[in-house]
Amino acid sequence: MVMEAVALNHKVFGEGKPLVIVHGLFGSLDNWQTHAKTLSEYFQVILVDARNHGHSPHSESHNYDLMADDLNLLLAHLNLQKAYFIGHSMGGKAGIRFAQLHPEKVDKLIVADMGVKAYPPHHELILKGLNSIDFNTTTSRSEAEKSMTEFIQDNSVRQFLLKNLYWIEPGKRMAWRMNVAVLEREMPQILKELPQEMCSMPTLFLRGALSNYVLDEDLEEIEAQFPNFTLETIDGAGHWVHAEKPKEFLDEVLKFLIF
């Protein structure tokens, strides 16, 4: 069966050269609205909800070729010939795959704390926490958080995930906006290595110094695929580099895209 692109939910801020931002796994465009408002002083910022996330359609498939197709459909819908792209984590791999398949549509690419390599499974506890909630009996956000705490001790991670809760029936029944079942089933696709295809556009790999997603030993492989790449490391930041060090993150983004 041929899987088709889906029409991504998106929000547009400002005017100017287009800048598309793709969030990471279990996130949504809402996570990026503060940055979008700042960046909209310089660009037309387009935030997207990835398939199976936020307000975008749920699908039975989730892989980077499909995510690239989704982005291509979005550009066509907005009548955009070319754009800057920022992708964080899963969104970074989606941005890379789009750049591989449609290099003529990517002016510059920023990959936030993600490499091109395969990653070992490491979301087991998060998935257990998400699946621990019985929505037939859970009637409040605090009850949902209590169920998750057994598996997810980090409060900031719990709060990040809880942003995905919504009321199907106000005051009666809640659910996850993201398609947890498909994301869990398709996790091997999310963690797998990207195809080894060269991208010549200027690309910034922006990593957190406290993160282990992009290691020094990964740089040779990155350079082989991105001969025109730059690496910047933000001190004091982990994997959520844009949220943990927002000013430093935005400084690097603007320096790369404008100056």
Strand pairing report for 165-169 and 173-176: antiparallel
Q: Is 239 a catalytic residue?
A: yes
Give the amino acid at 223. Answer: E
Residue from 23, 35, 53, 239 carrying the catalytic annotation:
239
What is the greatest pairwise CA distance in the chain?
54
Q: Is 156 a catalytic residue?
A: no
What is the C-alpha separation between 53 and 21, in angstroms, rounded? 14
The number of angstroms, rounded, from the C-alpha of 82 to the middle of its chain's C-alpha atoms is 20
Reading the block at residue 35, the tokens are 């940055």
Task: Name 45's Cβ contacts closer than 8 Å, sequence gap at least 6.
Answer: 12, 13, 14, 19, 21, 36, 39
Residues in the chain, total = 259
C-alpha pair distances (Å), 220 with each of 44, 116, 223, 227: 34, 11, 5, 10
C-alpha pair distances (Å), 12 with each of 30, 35, 44, 68, 256: 12, 12, 7, 19, 21
Residue from 89, 102, 140, 242 carrying the catalytic annotation:
89
What is the C-alpha separation between 91 and 112, in angstroms, rounded? 9
Known catalytic residues are 89, 239
